[in-house]
């Protein structure tokens, strides 16, 4: 407890619209010095989602992020050998057999992962994954509506009517307004969506015990969101965002 207390006290304040004082690499360095093996196991479980995101990026030919339990070479080899031992990966490999079909359906790797995560994961991590899953489903639904296309949902993680936006509970009730009032600049909408996620993750541990591991996990996720805003300046990322936005205008 003492080491975790020091780590959390040591972390600088984090703000969505302000450059972080410490990078993810720096925070992870101090985490390795202060967290127990058991606590680091939870951190690594959290990183499995980042591995899946990196795998999706690799399939799409976009730059991978630095944070994850697997480095770029390891992840690339596991993808080529179909040896990615993470929830959803087996389903993805068995359903899409060619390189072309996997590239075309790369985004579904994230969906399969989120659909197959076991409830046995630590509660904070499981709840965070459910937020990611629900966010992707709801934004997918809104984009499909804007394009006049049908949108089917399997294993829906919520108990409200997706077609009735007035029934969307907190924190999702703000998403419909965010979508309806989205600016023409695709990057600004993505920024608004990231800010929504930043605040939702912050509130996820609002009732956790002071200096609990939940606070550190929340900090890691939110720090990654802040750093990801810098990535959006990359021309490759901007091009992808703009192509998605054009399809729903």
CA–CA separation, 214 and 89 (whole Å): 27
According to DSSP, residue 70 is labeled: S
Asked whether 28 and 224 are in contact (CB, 8 A), the reply is no
How do residues 73-112 score in pLDDT, each as one tens digit?
Answer: 888 888 888 889 899 999 999 999 998 999 889 888 988 9
Q: Give the per-residue SS3 of 162-227.
A: CCCHHHCCCCCHHHHHHHHCCCCCHHHHHHHHHHHHHHHHHHHCCCCCCCCHHHHHHHHHHHHHHH
Asked whether 10 and 30 are in contact (CB, 8 A), the reply is yes
Confidence of residue 247 (pLDDT cuts 50, 70, 90): very low
How do residues 136-179 score in pLDDT, each as one tens digit?
Answer: 888 888 888 888 887 776 656 667 788 888 888 888 988 988 88
């Amino acid at each position: 407890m003492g080491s975790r207390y020091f780590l959390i006290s040591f972390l600088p304040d984090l703000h969505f619209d302000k450059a972080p004082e410490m990078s993810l690499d720096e925070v992870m360095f101090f985490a390795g010095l202060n967290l127990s093996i058991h606590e680091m196991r939870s951190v690594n479980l959290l990183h499995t989602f980042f591995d899946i995101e990196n795998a999706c990026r690799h399939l799409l030919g976009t730059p991978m992020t630095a944070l994850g339990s697997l480095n770029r070479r390891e992840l690339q080899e596991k993808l080529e050998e179909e040896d990615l031992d993470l929830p959803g990966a087996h389903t993805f490999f068995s359903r899409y057999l060619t390189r072309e079909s996997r590239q075309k359906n790369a985004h579904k790797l994230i969906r399969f992962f989120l659909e197959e995560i076991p409830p046995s994961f630590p509660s904070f991590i499981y709840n965070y994954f459910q937020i990611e899953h629900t966010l992707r489903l709801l934004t997918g639904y809104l984009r499909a509506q804007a394009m006049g296309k049908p949108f089917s949902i399997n294993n829906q993680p919520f108990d409200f009517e997706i077609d009735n936006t007035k029934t969307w509970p907190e924190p999702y009730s703000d998403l419909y307004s965010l979508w309806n009032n989205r600016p023409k600049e695709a990057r600004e909408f993505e920024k608004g969506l990231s800010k929504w996620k930043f605040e939702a993750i912050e509130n996820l541990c609002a009732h956790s015990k002071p200096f609990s591991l939940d606070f550190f996990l929340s900090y890691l996720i939110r720090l990654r969101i802040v750093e990801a805003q810098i990535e959006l300046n990359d021309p490759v990322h901007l091009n992808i965002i703009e192509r998605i936005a054009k399809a729903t205008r």
